[in-house]
Amino acid sequence: MSTVKAITKHLLLLALASIVGCDRVTKHVATETLAGTPTQSYLFDVIRLSYAENTGSFLSLGADLPEPFRFTLFVLGSGGLLVFLLVYAIRSRWSGAKLFALGLFVEGGASNWADRVMVGHVVDFLNVGVGPIRTGIFNVADVAILAGVAMLVFTEYWQG
């Protein structure tokens, strides 16, 4: 392996580990400082911080499902999907931007998956928007997941 490839590989691993670390720390801080408090608004209400425990998936979809079904879907199913994606990427010999995109997706998914396994829910706390146009409440792992999907779509379009 060339020196440039080795450095690139190590930077990729560092970036991915940083995402998980940042997600874990921000969720901890949100739990300690935002739980039980009113929503906080910043930058002329563009950013809102509000503590939420999400037992569902994206935008709390499936939160009302019975617990055994949620466990099967969100713990076993998403865990299996993450493992499948890793195996597929390895067998397909993904590299470069495509591998980084998958890394973002898997790292974000793994961090949220760990929350579901350890405490039964995912901590969300960020909301952005202008006026009535707002996102749902999300976290750093969700940003990594969406960035990974967007990058993967872009690289597939660009290379295809």
Give the residue among 132, 120, 115, 138 at the shortest CA–CA distance from 58. 138
Q: What is the per-residue pLDDT for 59?
A: 79
Q: What is the per-residue pLDDT for 68?
A: 92
Q: What is the pLDDT of residues 42-54, one digit of tens each?
A: 999 999 999 999 9
Confidence of residue 13 (pLDDT cuts 50, 70, 90): confident
Q: Catalytic residues, which ones?
A: 124, 142
Q: What is the per-residue pLDDT for 44?
A: 96
Residue 86, C-beta contacts closer than 8 angstroms, at least 6 positions apart: 102, 106
| Maximum alpha-carbon separation in the chain | 53
What is the pTM for the complete model shown?
A: 0.88
Q: Rounded to the nearest 5°, which phi and psi values hold at 98?
A: -65, -40
Higher-confidence position of 86 and 30 = 30
The residue assigned the tokens 């998956």 is: 113
Q: How far is CA 88 from CA 41, 81, 93, 134, in A?
A: 42, 10, 8, 35
Structural domain including 41 reads: 3-159
Lowest mean pLDDT segment, chosen from 25-29, 77-81, 85-89, 107-111: 85-89
What is the domain count for the chain? Answer: 1
Rounded Cα distance, 82 and 113, in Å: 9
Rounded Cα distance, 156 and 160, in Å: 6
Query: What is the SS3 assignment for 151?
Result: helix
Rounded Cα distance, 83 and 25, in Å: 24
Rounded Cα distance, 126 and 138, in Å: 5
Range 77-94 burial, b when 16+ CB lie within 10 A, else e: ebbeebeeeeeebeeeeb
Rounded Cα distance, 55 and 61, in Å: 9
